Chains A and B, each alone.
Chain A
Amino acid sequence: MLYRETGQFRTSYAADQAIFPLRQDRIGLAAIALVAALAVPLLADDFFINTIMIPFLIFALASIGLNLLTGYAGLLSLGTGAFMGVGAYACYKLTTFFPEVNVLLLILLSGFFSAGIGFVFGLPSLRIKGFYLAVATLAAQFFLDWCFNRIGWLYNYNASGAIEVPTREAFGIVLTGPTATPLARYMAVLALVVLMTWLASNLVRGRIGRSWMMVRDMDIAAELMGIRLLRTKLLAFAVSSFYCGVAGAMMVFLWLGAAEASSFGINVSFQVLFMVIIGGLGSLLGSFMGAAFIWILPIVIRAVPATLGLDIGAATVEHVSFMLVGGLIIFILIAEPHGFARLWQVAKQKMRTWPFPY
């Protein structure tokens, strides 16, 4: 009843291929868009925007990037953190050379550098599969980490080896640097994430996305049916790294404000992988849900004792938070191995038949 499709007729091919063919979905999306673009800026305080919304959106974009590779093309990668780093350092160099250019454009451009690096490290994927490939991507992770540390040119020979984001504007508004307001940064992040999610959703429904899924399901069969494996796999690596690179550039420019090599360590790779798995492999919506869960859960856990007035040491809270996060991940994997995206499917089905389930 709540989610009734009856009576909604599609009378053209275009209507049939729409991303959201159902009225309820369109209403839901509009509501989310309104909340994200109006309610959050008007009602939320700086802490909420800075600590929850901005990182959540950035990690959601990185998760989409990894999901394209792992969920759609079936290639497991543990190098996400490093690819994000490539984007960040590329953006830093670009803005050093072209300080006048719109910083949002530079953030998008830096994705291409990341895509190039992803392309190179994707080359072994033709021969190596499964966990062997995952370990091979660790080579990218550790090698790039080392580069961020050792190649002084990347951080302009800064004595501390960190990249610090200068003040830059776009459309006359200060977007990066210490003087940028959280609101301006949030709106920039939101705009980029929405744009790139829309692109991704069209990509995975089209020829490219379908060829990725063929490779994922069985690459030999796909090859026999005329899919060029090398091209398809490398394209998956490049597109995925592009997304991760843009997310990395946003992470430093629109969220953290400064970063060192350790900001793009292996922990970030695992964090993003968690988001993808918990959210659901092969689902863009899942990437958002996974990112929300993995990012917000520890923050909530940390805030609980203070809110309840319990005097527990910060360290103990951290230990408990680790245990809870680990335990919950196992629990969710057991309860629903296909992630939140699957839960959402189930919920939709329930709503469809409510109140007369059969």
Chain B
Amino acid sequence: MRLRQALLGAAALAVAAGAPAAPVLADLYVPLLTYRTGAYAGSGIPIADGMHDYLAMLNERDGGIGGVRIAIEECETGYDAQKGVECYESTKGKGALVYNPYSTGITLQLIPKASVDKIPVLSMAYGLSAAAEGETFPWIFNPPDTYWDGASAIIRYIADQEGGLDALKGKKIGYIYLDAGYGREPIPLLEQLAQNYGYELVQYPVPGNQMQNQSSQWLNVRRDRPDYMVMWGWGAMNPTAVKEAAKIRFPMEKFIGVWWAGGDDDARPAGEGAKGYKTLNFHGVGADYGAIQDILEHVVKKGQSKVASPDKVGENLYNRGVMNSVFIAEAIRTAQELTGKKEVDAVDVRRGFENLNITEARLKEIGLEGFMKPLEITCEDHSGHNPVYVQQWNGQRWEPASEWFEPMTDVVRPLLEQAARDYVQANQPWPERAEPCG
């Protein structure tokens, strides 16, 4: 008898769960596809916290954007493409304004869907590089830089260290990467630049199931003796790579990671050995910004944040999450200005992104002066190809190690255009851009 009651209860629960929750139409609904579980949680958690806390802070401090509250919903993807698609399907019906997949794999699945479902995708400095071509991908945005910008910036930085692009000739540059869509994305550009400047590119793929067992890759590095190492790592791969590099006594100041390989928890476990490790970045680190102080005051102090401790606020990847939410918020605000409506929909937000113009003055207004370089997105250019800088781990925290400098946009742009054409060619019939500019 008890079993039957339990079964009935379970059935009732299942029926109740199956009924879709009522859409919250009055709010600006922003689903956040995050991952706080699984092998990539180490990188995913600070980003999820940063994204959530900035939007929550806007709710607390300003009552939302333009007076309309933001409904924030996190959906756990575990960096898994299947779960990511499930999250997408389960949230898109509730009036989602924009998606941030935080996984190159999930982004690739959402790209074709975006134009059909008419919901923009913000893949901030990840995903498909070619998506910067606004004419081909009107619904996808990848500001402030694409992976190809990042790869070209690293090469430019190395050239500066060596005394000019000509000095690259005959140099050996090692590329260690997560063997997935994410890590493979920059290879065409690195190969192109190798042709242009005459350096030798040596590749060290790290399979996803070997992330914490990289001694073979680093033994190979030791044998090949590259002059520089470039890394495209994520999750548990990063701290392991930094440790292994220290172990084979690779000169850390010649080991440069992309912006995603720059979590504080990526460098810290290697202790003293990590000192000197460098990564790219396109935003400031630390809590000394007005907006981030506001987060501490309005969100963290009130216990509405999930951060483990307040000193996690201001860490590199946390600030990355904040920047992501700044883009969302500013796009919504721009959409509100353009349409004159308060409660914008996803189509308006796409327009908002396309007309996004974050100026110095605006940065000052939102309390992020000096946090990032001004960003302008146009109909043709969905990335901005913004300047970046190199930061260095000093054993405790990240410190800037260079001035802001431009990626090689002149090299990247033609390749992007070609890649966009290839994508369209491979995915016929690809819809022509129907959205008017402006």
Direct contact between A and B in the complex (CB less than 8 angstroms)?
A: yes
Q: Which residues of A does B touch, CB under 8 Å?
A: 45-48, 50-51, 55, 142, 145-146, 149-150, 156, 158-162, 164, 166-167, 177-179, 256-263, 265-267, 299-300, 302-304, 306-308, 313-315, 317-319, 322
- A-B CB proximity, top 10 nearest: A315-B36, A178-B112, A160-B181, A314-B74, A303-B17, A314-B76, A318-B76, A258-B109, A178-B116, A51-B89
The answer to whether A256 touches B109 (Cβ under 8 A) is yes
Listed by A's residue number, 19 A-B pairs whose Cβ atoms lie within 8 Å are A46-B93, A145-B209, A156-B426, A159-B187, A160-B181, A160-B184, A164-B111, A167-B427, A256-B85, A257-B85, A260-B81, A263-B82, A300-B13, A303-B18, A303-B90, A304-B13, A304-B17, A315-B36, A317-B76
> Assuming the A-B contacts A149-B207, A166-B427, are A315 and B181 also in contact, with contact meaning beta carbons closer than 8 angstroms in the complex?
no
Best-surrounded residue of A47, A146, A322 (most CB of chain B within 10 A): A47
CA–CA, A183 to B427, complex, Å? 22
Residue of B whose beta carbon sits closest to that of A267: B80
B434 within 8 A of A: no
> Assuming the A-B contacts A156-B426, A260-B105, A314-B74, are A47 and B116 also in contact, with contact meaning beta carbons closer than 8 angstroms in the complex?
no
Best-surrounded residue of A259, A306, A318 (most CB of chain B within 10 A): A318
B16 within 8 A of A: yes
CA–CA, A304 to B18, complex, Å? 9
The residues of B that contact A146 with a CB separation of less than 8 Å are 207
The answer to whether A160 touches B426 (Cβ under 8 A) is no
The answer to whether A177 touches B112 (Cβ under 8 A) is yes
Summed over the interface, the residue pairs from A and B with CB atoms below 8 Å come to a total of: 133
> Assuming the A-B contacts A149-B207, A164-B427, A300-B18, are A318 and B78 also in contact, with contact meaning beta carbons closer than 8 angstroms in the complex?
yes
> Assuming the A-B contacts A159-B185, A160-B128, A315-B37, are A46 and B81 also in contact, with contact meaning beta carbons closer than 8 angstroms in the complex?
no
Sorting the interface of chain B by its residue count into under 10, 10 to 19, 20 to 34 or 35 or more gives 35 or more
CA–CA, A177 to B185, complex, Å? 23
CA–CA, A162 to B182, complex, Å? 10
- Main SS at interface, chain B: helix
The answer to whether A161 touches B16 (Cβ under 8 A) is no
Query: Smallest Cβ distance from A323 to chain B, in angstroms?
Result: 12
The answer to whether B93 touches A262 (Cβ under 8 A) is no
B19 within 8 A of A: yes
The answer to whether B181 touches A167 (Cβ under 8 A) is no
The answer to whether B113 touches A262 (Cβ under 8 A) is no
Q: Which residues of B does A touch, CB under 8 Å?
A: 13-14, 16-21, 34, 36-37, 73-76, 78, 80-82, 85-86, 89-90, 93, 104-105, 108-109, 111-113, 115-116, 128-129, 179-181, 184-185, 187-188, 205, 207-209, 306, 419, 426-429
Query: Smallest Cβ distance from A180 to chain B, in angstroms?
Result: 9
CA–CA, A266 to B179, complex, Å? 16
The answer to whether A161 touches B428 (Cβ under 8 A) is no
The residues of B that contact A317 with a CB separation of less than 8 Å are 76
CA–CA, A63 to B195, complex, Å? 49
The residues of A that contact B108 with a CB separation of less than 8 Å are 160, 162, 164, 258, 260
The residues of A that contact B128 with a CB separation of less than 8 Å are 160
Residue of A whose beta carbon sits closest to that of B128: A160
CA–CA, A336 to B129, complex, Å? 51
Residue of A whose beta carbon sits closest to that of B429: A167
Residue of B whose beta carbon sits closest to that of A263: B81
CA–CA, A308 to B17, complex, Å? 8
CA–CA, A182 to B366, complex, Å? 42
The residues of A that contact B75 with a CB separation of less than 8 Å are 314
Best-surrounded residue of A142, A149, A265 (most CB of chain B within 10 A): A149
The answer to whether B19 touches A307 (Cβ under 8 A) is yes
The answer to whether B17 touches A313 (Cβ under 8 A) is no
The answer to whether B109 touches A313 (Cβ under 8 A) is no
The answer to whether A149 touches B429 (Cβ under 8 A) is no
The residues of B that contact A299 with a CB separation of less than 8 Å are 86
CA–CA, A315 to B48, complex, Å? 10
The residues of A that contact B426 with a CB separation of less than 8 Å are 156, 158, 164, 166
